[in-house]
Amino acid sequence: MKPLYFTIDNGLQLMVIPDTQAHLDGHTIITRTYSVFRDIGAGNPLISRSKESTLHLERINDPEYYGFITFELPGSIFTYTADGQLELTSEETTELIEHLSDIRDNPSLWNQPDR
């Protein structure tokens, strides 16, 4: 899936890169994580590809990285991990989770137009 772009109410522009992982611990669990970056490339595909190539393989030292949101159980259990040099406020996190939930719940939104 290609990156998603959001501008939240305070004007902060974000690029979110979806990632899916399967974990085996007696049974299969699908965990969907979304890595969050400040969007400084205005949707530039070269920037998103360079960020995507290193997701969750090693510590991300990108100065535009906010961390990641994990959906364990859509609509019920999710976490934000501030794993970067930047950190979202609780209000920004809530708003971003609402945007991501809306996209997850509405397949017609999955093909966002490119910027």
The string of pLDDT tens digits covering residues 11-33 is 999 999 887 665 566 554 556 78
- Residue 114: the pLDDT is 47
Please report whether residue 74 resides in a domain. Answer: yes
Q: Which residue has the higher pLDDT, 103 or 42?
A: 103
Enter the pTM of the model: 0.75
Q: How far is CA 28 from CA 24, 32, 69, 91, in A?
A: 5, 13, 20, 32
Determine, yes or no, domain membership for 114: no
Q: What is the DSSP letter of 91?
A: H
Domain range enclosing 40: 4-109
Count of domains observed in the chain: 1
Give a yes or no: residue 79 inside a domain: yes
Specify if 115 maps to a domain.
no
